């Protein structure tokens, strides 16, 4: 159960992270934040990133093997990176229409899945 909670929290964390890191670009594109000073954009992103950390930190605590979770530190990081790229690919396609996935993106994803497999091998 700890593994499932960890992955769900990582999923939520990465949704917030992607919105914090790239959502302001969509706001700028729509004219919402095009006149904001850079410090305003940074503060806006930090406000969103707060919720990322509210999910990321518990995910790592719950999932870490020394806290009763199923994942080693390396496994946590590889799972997080895999989740991050999946979330980014989906949100980028929703927010920024026309950002299509190509064969090389699929090949990179296969490499990530292979990395996850290798990290979990005994």
pLDDT per residue as tens digits for the range 46-105:
999 999 999 999 999 999 999 999 999 989 998 998 899 889 888 887 777 766 778 888
Element (H, E) at 8: helix 2-29
pLDDT one-digit tens code per residue, 39-48: 999 999 999 9
pTM of the model: 0.81
**Distances in whole angstroms, Cα of residue 82 to Cα of each of 32, 70, 115:** 31, 17, 9
Q: Which residues lie below 8 Å from residue 29, measured CB to CB, with a gap of 6+?
A: none
pLDDT at residue 42 in the model: 93
């Amino acid at each position: 159960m700890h593994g499932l909670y960890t992955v769900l929290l990582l999923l939520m964390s990465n949704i917030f992270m992607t919105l914090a890191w790239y959502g302001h670009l969509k706001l700028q594109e729509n004219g919402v934040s095009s006149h904001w000073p850079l410090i305003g954009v940074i503060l806006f992103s930090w406000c969103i990133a707060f919720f990322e950390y509210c999910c990321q930190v518990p995910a790592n605590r719950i999932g870490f093997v020394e806290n009763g979770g199923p994942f080693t530190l390396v496994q946590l990081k590889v799972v997080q990176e895999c989740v991050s790229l999946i979330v980014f690919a989906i949100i980028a396609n929703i927010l920024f229409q026309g950002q299509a996935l190509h064969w090389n993106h699929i090949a990179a994803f296969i490499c990530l899945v292979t990395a996850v497999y290798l990290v979990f091998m005994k």
